[in-house]
């Protein structure tokens, strides 16, 4: 495994963890540990979907539709680690996924 890819993967996991902790005022062990960067790094789609389902009912219909579109668009990555997405697709693809996720949790 490429050390640079592992480093990037861990950095992305931390960015997502910090964003979730700041937005929702959660600890990294809250919600069964899905806010933890280690879990996020190995299961980014699962952690994102769990959070989106947590907030789904609070959103208006337009944002619920956007959540549904996110789930459908990125379902392909449901079994991928961040490393896999970076190596098999591109770093830009993961950044786009992460940016879309951040927009949805505002």
- Cβ 40 vs Cβ 47: under 8 Å: yes
Asked whether residue 41 carries a pLDDT value surpassing 80, the answer given is yes
Residues 58-99: tens digit of each pLDDT = 999 999 999 999 999 999 999 999 999 999 999 999 999 999
Mean pLDDT of the chain: 93
| Phi, psi values for residue 24, rounded to 5° | -105, 0
Token duo for residue 100: 């879309």
Q: pTM for this structure?
A: 0.90
CA dist 76 and 94 (Å) reads 12
CA dist 20 and 26 (Å) reads 7
């Amino acid at each position: 495994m490429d050390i640079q890819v592992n480093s990037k993967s861990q950095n992305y996991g931390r960015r997502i963890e910090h964003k979730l902790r700041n937005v929702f005022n959660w600890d990294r062990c809250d919600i069964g540990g899905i806010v933890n960067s280690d879990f996020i790094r190995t299961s980014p789609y699962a952690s994102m979907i769990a959070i989106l389902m947590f907030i789904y009912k609070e959103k208006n219909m337009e944002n619920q539709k956007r959540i549904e579109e996110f789930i459908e668009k990125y379902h392909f990555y449901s079994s991928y680690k961040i490393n896999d997405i970076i190596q098999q697709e591109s770093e830009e693809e993961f950044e786009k996924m992460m940016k879309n996720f951040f927009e949805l949790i505002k």
